[in-house]
Every structure is written in structure tokens, then in C-alpha cells.
Amino acid sequence: MSQAFAEVLRLPSKQLTKLVFPLQELERHLVPGSRPDFHLKTFDPSLEDIAKSDGVFTATVRNRIEYLSSAVCFIGRSNVGKSSLIKALFSLAPEVEVRVSKKPGHTKKMNFFKVGKYFTLVDMPGYGYRAPEDFVKMVETYLKERKNLMRTFLLVDSVVGIQKMDNIAIEMCEEFALPYVVSISFESWLRAVTYSGIHLLRCFIANITGNLKTNGFQVS
């Protein structure tokens, strides 16, 4: 178990729940049966699984996390906070350089992060304002040809909601039959020292990539 998560476990119960299981607060605002065609199933891991997943994102001699200049994938509009989110995911590996900029369109190429022997995380260039000229060709080619892409995370700005370009990205995922998740980007969460919700996201990624069941993984 990481020292950071051990400190989280010492928090008062209400604060712990808000930090580690933020979706429980969301569920309180959902009205059961309001939409018969809408089936909601929230990700509800145990604290033990969350502790294991933190280990996946922790750099050690046996679990190196490396930046590769040029598969879990993150896409979204320019300046929606993709790189900030990825930086928060890798906060347990501070030596990993994740380039973050306040200027839209800073990411011009696909950035690959190899997470030990577990999976590769991909930071896609943003679409919309100042998107690379070859964005469509580059991204569509990758999404079509990456056969072992476990999940695509589509980040949506919590302030403005789903925009026209976001709908196009959703339609692309549907057209290519890609498993995807629409994630709400809360910049204030990502800047906070506590990284509310990050533990849950790490656990979700570790789960969908099959790494909570990896025999070779041990929690110390």
C-alpha cells in the first residue's frame, strides 16, 4: 500500500468517502425510474482494490513508468484538462514528466506512457481550437487500428457540458464500436492536493485492464 493512500485511510469517515468514492454523492441526486431506458451501474471497488491499483501507478524497480515520445486513451477538447488529469494519475511517480500548459492546443502529438508491464496510457491531442492539422487522420487511424484498446476516456468540461465537437467524438467512438467512458473534468479537483476521485479512477483503469487480478502483482 502506498504511503499516500495509507494517509487517506486515516481520514474521518465522511472525508474518506468524499475523497475516494465521489460517485456516492452523485447517486443521491439521481431519481430511480425517471428514465426506463437508462441503466446506471456505478463502479464500486473495495478499499483493498483501490490500494492495489495505486501500486500499479507507483514507479518501482520492477514497475517502471516511462514517457515515450511518440492502451487506455484520453481524448477531449483543447484545454479540457487531459494532461492535468494524467499528471494527477501519475502523482505517485513524480519523476514522470507530464507536460501541462494553460494554453489550448499545447499537445500536438500522441503521448504514450508505458505503465510497467500492465498497459500503455495515451494522451491524445485536443480537438477544436488549435488542434493539429493532421488530428483527424492521426487519431482516427490509431482508434481504428489499436485492436487491444481497452477503453477510451472522453473528457467533458463540467462548466460548459457536452459541446458539438464532443458529440462528434462520441459518434466516432460509436462508429468504431469502441468501449468508451464520458468523464467530467473538474479542474479544481485536479489542482487540489487531495486529488479527489483520482484513487477511484486509478482503480477503474486497473480493473478494466485486468490488473487487479494479475497474479504477479503484490501489495506491500
Tell me the pLDDT band of 192, cut-offs 50, 70 and 90.
Answer: very low
For 3-30+43-209, CATH gives 3.40.50.300
pTM above 0.75, yes or no: no
Task: Say what percent of the chain tops pLDDT 70.
Answer: 74
Distances (CA, A) of 178 to 155, 161, 165, 206: 15, 22, 17, 18
Rama region for 156: left / alpha / beta (φ>0; ψ in -120 to 50; rest)? beta
Question: What average pLDDT does this structure show over 63-87?
Answer: 78
Q: What is the pLDDT of residues 142-171, one digit of tens each?
A: 887 777 888 999 888 878 888 888 888 888
Diameter of the chain measured on Cα atoms: 51
Sheet with 180-185: list strands edge to edge: 65-68, 111-115, 119-123, 72-76, 151-157, 180-185
Instruction: Specify the higher pLDDT residue, 73 or 138.
Output: 73
Instruction: Specify the higher pLDDT residue, 32 or 188.
Output: 32
Residue ranges covered by each domain of the chain: 3-30+43-209
Cα–Cα distance for residue pair 65/59, rounded to 1 Å? 6
